[in-house]
A and B are shown apart, each in its own frame.
Chain A
């Protein structure tokens, strides 16, 4: 035997066993270290559920109340733990209900494996009951997908699925398994996948590019870092901090980069993008070297590309070659995992402080504080603001909570004002903007980090998109804290209508149910706050609770989120009011 064959033999499980395809799937999951999955049973996936019943001491299955909830829970679990989230559903509608979660995981690079049942092979293409071409449907929203029609394919495909989901730039993988392949037997051995010849997950860093980047950084007068989720996915938080501290370069983050660096770090200057901070946006157009790390220049970050950082040289640290020059042209591209490339960069950069340049950020912050922030977090008007609720949560949780947000005004406010000490603490739907994400994602986040406080902050609109997942929180007593910031509107759309559609509030006003009673219906401890005087106590009670807790805060109905870069405008034209 040559060494390669020997190595392969070692990777194999101890012995070959004769099992059904359904049981093989369980063994694959266990071999991948999975102990928790989310899903919903149905006809075409029943053989696997039958095995889940037998293996319930080793593998916990959480029944979400909708398949979409299963995907978001798996995402929340993956984002907080760094592990692959797993969701399972039956064929047809079960499978199609996964699509939103797949798309969300695809655009936010979340490692997830979805397993769907499919009609038996002999019925494929016959419009059988609950047959749908989920491989065709999910192709544009998956990193990879595959339909298994023979039991013998299961070990290899499952191993490949986990490898592809987690490696390189992570993403969702869907494996569709026909019912006959679940019933049929195979000789099962498992070998973890260590490579696919047509797939290079992590480009090898080019030392020359890193040297060129260091030279450019060392020569810069006004260098500026914008980091994204690539830092978190690459577990490069320490390397980022070391680079920032040595070089003295102010660093801002994209919404998905939030929590990769302590929000109170003196060099952390805040958030870029449409509702980001004033300085980080305006000074993008004044820096001389823009250092992008693990981010993809999304349109919500850049505003109008024709007026974005045109004066600056751009250095782009990125794992995915397809992102280079996609939106913003890079003068130097440094391909590779951020952990590796930043580590190589560190010894080459000079120690610096950039005092005058950093003072620019302080000045801009003061302007923003005086015009926006103070009113948001220490309001003097009668109505409650979203910002002061976030501030109370910061205080009560000591900046240690995992904050899970939905989509809209509350999300922007939470990302602007939430404080973090620890990475992987900001879980939100960034790229896709999926309303309904937060409640199930918070369940997954809590289960992925039971020792941590998990606070879901949700608007009254998004809350009602996946509200049925309260059933999971009740049934399994998942101690998440749910805060609904209720303004009786679809707030962000209403804001746009006010600013750009002459206040024609088309379908953004909502008559809401009694959310406290709904939570009570699920036997979840709950409280409603309508007065400022009650807020501090309620938030403290919520954080202190050992059980799940629901808090509704009635906030001002027509508050707007500022600063704001109007759609298609330049980052320089950010509005403070």
Chain B
């Protein structure tokens, strides 16, 4: 079976040990977590893990089954890139003098649609939100001038289709 990118979304109770349990499921199968993000979700007191893996659909499905089995997991899904709207964020820390000495830097900022977050005497920080390749392109453009620090976040994603989490939780309340 063909491998591709899958975004796994896990809705769960907020529990300290759960990340360990979930990461163990990937570890056991030697599947690398390409990116991981944990945040609150649209439902109060429910956390959302967004995990990106490169695998076959068969593996993605089995992994989601194993994740869903965990007691604190309410529901897990896997989606292809086509099924989701997704973004990553990156921060670039650049030496301040470049902003004035290198005209091209200003063009890069404009063309990349990035934002200047802060400007200090010695450095300024650019923030860029977008697809992975857009961030990579901006990185490549800035690299010749020198990047003092670079960091990129995990993917965050929402699905095009509805996720019936609320109804699952309501069903429990009504039992």
Residues of A within 8 A of B (CB): 135-136, 139-140, 143-147, 164, 195-199, 320-322, 324-326
Contact = CB atoms under 8 A, between A and B. Distances in A.
Contact of B24 (A135, A139, A145): A139
Interface of B: 12-13, 17, 20-21, 24, 28, 61-62, 65-66, 68-69, 71-74, 169, 172-173, 175
Contacts of B20: 136, 139
A201 to B, nearest CB: 10
Nearest to A4: B173
Given A198-B12, A199-B71, A139 B65 contact: no
A198 B72 contact: yes
A321 to B, nearest CB: 6
Contact of A321 (B24, B68, B175): B68
Contacts of B69: 320-322
B66 A322 contact: yes
B25 to A, nearest CB: 9
Contacts of B13: 197-198
13 contacts: A136-B17, A139-B17, A139-B20, A147-B17, A195-B172, A197-B169, A198-B12, A199-B71, A320-B69, A321-B68, A322-B62, A325-B61, A325-B62
Nearest to B58: A325
A577 to B, nearest CB: 38
A198 B28 contact: no
B65 A197 contact: no
Contacts of B173: 197
A140 B25 CA distance: 8
Contacts of A147: 17
Contacts of A326: 62, 65
Which 8 A/B pairs are nearest by Cβ-Cβ distance?
Answer: A322-B65, A197-B172, A198-B74, A144-B71, A199-B71, A322-B69, A140-B24, A198-B72
A325 B66 CA distance: 12
Nearest to B12: A198
Nearest to A194: B175
A196 B21 contact: no
B74 A197 contact: yes
Nearest to A326: B62
Contacts of A139: 17, 20-21, 24
Contacts of A198: 12-13, 71-74
Contact of B28 (A140, A145, A196): A140
A139 B169 CA distance: 26
A199 B75 CA distance: 9
Nearest to B73: A198
Given A143-B71, A198-B71, A198-B72, 7 more contacts: A135-B17, A196-B71, A197-B13, A197-B169, A197-B172, A198-B13, A321-B69
A135 B17 CA distance: 8
Contacts of A324: 65
A321 B65 contact: yes
B63 to A, nearest CB: 10
A326 B63 CA distance: 10
Contacts of A145: 17
Residue in A140, A146, A147, A197 with the greatest tally of chain B CB atoms within 10 Å:
A197
A139 B21 CA distance: 6
Residue in A198, A199, A324, A325 with the greatest tally of chain B CB atoms within 10 Å:
A198
A324 B20 CA distance: 25
A195 B172 CA distance: 9
A118 to B, nearest CB: 14
A196 B74 CA distance: 10
Contacts of B65: 321-322, 324, 326
Contacts of A140: 21, 24, 28
Nearest to A169: B69
A456 B73 CA distance: 40
B21 A164 contact: no
A324 to B, nearest CB: 8
A195 B73 contact: no
A326 B29 CA distance: 13
A196 B172 CA distance: 8
B161 to A, nearest CB: 20
B24 A322 contact: no
Contacts of B71: 143-144, 164, 196, 198-199
A199 B168 CA distance: 11
